[in-house]
Amino acid sequence: MNPELYERYLAKKAKKLGISVEELKAQGTTPIATSSATEAETSISGTTDAIPQEQNTSFEKPTTLNNYTSSAQTVTSNYMQSNIEPSSNTLQPQYIQRTIQEQIDAQNSVVQETSYVQSQESDKYAPYSNMQPETVKTDVPSYIFGPSRMEEEKKEPVQSYNNSLNVNTSAVTSEEIQDTRENRFALIGYPLGHSLSAVIHSAGFKSLGIDATYEILETPPDDLVDRLKFLKRHNYKGFNVTIPLKLPISLFVNEVDKYADLARAVNTVSIEKDRSLKAYNTDVIGFRRAIPKDVIIRGKKVAVLGTGGAAHAACVALVECGVDEIAFFTRNIPNSIDLMNYVRRKFPSVTFNVYQIENIRNLSEYAMLVNTTPIGMLGKAGDMMPVERYALETLDKNAVVYDVIYNPKKTVLIKEAEKLGLRVITGLDMFIYQAVAAQEIWFGKTPDFKDMKIAALENL
């Protein structure tokens, strides 16, 4: 190091600080390292030309990774060679990985220690003990799997406005809601000009001593939704359903009974207090009840004419009676495929077959012949039979002929069967029994069958 240059450097620095060189030296200025000497020379000469060549190259901008590393090493070496060392008092940051519980404990410890210092209390203080070890709660709320084992705080009941008025605020269930509706019932379907439902049901209401009304409301399929809104809005308690709405109505009800489900048709609906619709099929009940108790068809074969909605209900009732085989006779076999697939799947213990109705020649193997077609109904081929007379003559003398048509009260089929000395069951009995079942659903009571049948016969 050039002493002359060093003195000149001290003089310039002292001048800048406004003190003398002696005062600057008295402050304990340390000897300058190589880099400081370079700074002194640079500041005095005002240019880097006085810097030795070997030092100047160490500060050139590195162009490659190797050059950069070499430069870094040179600077580090110069620093280590200097007498300036890092202060031993500098705190280096330390990073400690802690669990959440450890952090909480540490924070609680700091809070308590601070409190201790402030209060000048003794060192006999207990650590924070309310914090429990971290756990995983396995209790499940009762509304998911069952009763919960979790203890809930008992809270005092809140004083409500109603309580302040001494009003009973106990929960009111749906069963406690009073039903103020009138006993209004109806029949929907289209067309309904031939219906005897109002006559039969009115006689049933009277036999029960119930003040009720029954209306005939013609409802084409396109008006079904509006009709249902009308019935709910005007507080009807129930209604019956006939063709062609027995299947479409099932799309708008809230619940169906087993017979409506099996028969895939609805003929009776109850409108509940909350205006929900419960649907039933009383055709199945009516068909079965109309069969006299002394008519035994269990384990026997039955022939059913037709594969429509009435045939569905008859099939379910016959299965309940324990028949061994049901043979369907239809004019359109392709359309009966769905029915055959359905009943074979639902009732595997019963044998089902389907035949062309025009090919009927011999019915001797069947204990019962059931007509579910509209042939013979008043206004629909009322003077015809669904089978030829010679086929009817092949029935066994103990066989039963059952026609679900109730108007007229005796169809041509029934009249011809009576002439042959065969036992008959008319559709009127089935119709009245299904009305009886409907009122049992609506009122929970059984109306008088005889009164209802007398009223029906007076109006046929």
- Fold: same for 184-281+439-458 and 292-425: yes
Coil, strand, or helix at residue 374? coil
Instruction: List CB contacts of 220: < 8 A, sequence separation 6 or more.
Output: 190
Instruction: List CB contacts of 43: < 8 A, sequence separation 6 or more.
Output: 9, 12
Proportion of the chain above pLDDT 70, given as a percent: 67
Reference 397, options 363, 427, 370; nearest CA is 363
Residue 257 tokens read as 């009974």
Tokens 């509006």 locate to 226
Encoded amino acid at 172, one letter:
V
CA distance 371 to 391: 14
Looking at residue 7, what is its pLDDT? Answer: 81
Tokens 């004019």 locate to 331
Looking at residue 378, what is its pLDDT? Answer: 82
Angle, CA 350 vertex, CA 344 and CA 353 arms, to 5°: 65
CA distance 245 to 192: 12
Residues of the chain with pLDDT under 70: 1, 28-177
Question: Residue 307: what are its φ and ψ, rounded to 5°?
Answer: -135, 25
Coil, strand, or helix at residue 255? strand
Residue 172 tokens read as 């009111």
Q: Summarize pLDDT for 268-300 with one digit per residue, the tens.
A: 999 999 999 999 999 999 999 999 999 999 999
For the question of residue 246 being annotated catalytic, the response is yes
Task: Give, in order, the Cα–Cα distances in Å from 248 to each of 222, 234, 266, 396.
Answer: 10, 22, 9, 40
For 292-425, CATH number?
Answer: 3.40.50.720
Reference 302, options 320, 284, 286, 318; nearest CA is 318
Q: Which of 246, 278, 380, 410 is catalytic?
A: 246
Domain borders along the chain are 3-73, 184-281+439-458, 292-425
Task: Estimate the crossing angle of helix 427-443 against helix 197-208, to 10 degrees.
Answer: 50
CATH class of 184-281+439-458: alpha beta
